A = this chain, B = another copy of it.
Amino acid sequence: MSTATYTVTGMTCGHCVSSVKEEVGQIAGVTGVDVDLETGRVTVTSDAPIDEAAVKDAVEEAGYELKP
C-alpha cells in the first residue's frame, strides 16, 4: 500500500471537497482519498505509488490547483 499527501488550493466548501475526492478517486489504483478542507491537504491511498502528474490532472479536472 502507498500513501501520498498533496496540498490543493482553491477549495472553499464541502462541494469542492467532493469534487476533488471524486476526480482523484477515479485514478486507476487509488483506493482512498481523504481531504481536509481547512488545510487543503489531500491524502491519496493506493495499491502502488501513483504518478503525481495523474493526481495533478485529476485535481485540475475538478477545477483546483495542486500546490507545487
A binding-site residues for B, Cβ under 8 Å: 12-16, 18-19, 63
Contact = CB atoms under 8 A, between A and B. Distances in A.
A56 to B, nearest CB: 20
Nearest 3 A/B pairs, CB to CB = A15-B15, A12-B12, A12-B13
* Interface residues of chain A: helix, strand, loop or mixed (majority): helix
Nearest to A15: B15
Contacts of A63: 14
A16 B15 CA distance: 7
A13 to B, nearest CB: 5
A14 B13 CA distance: 10
A9 to B, nearest CB: 13
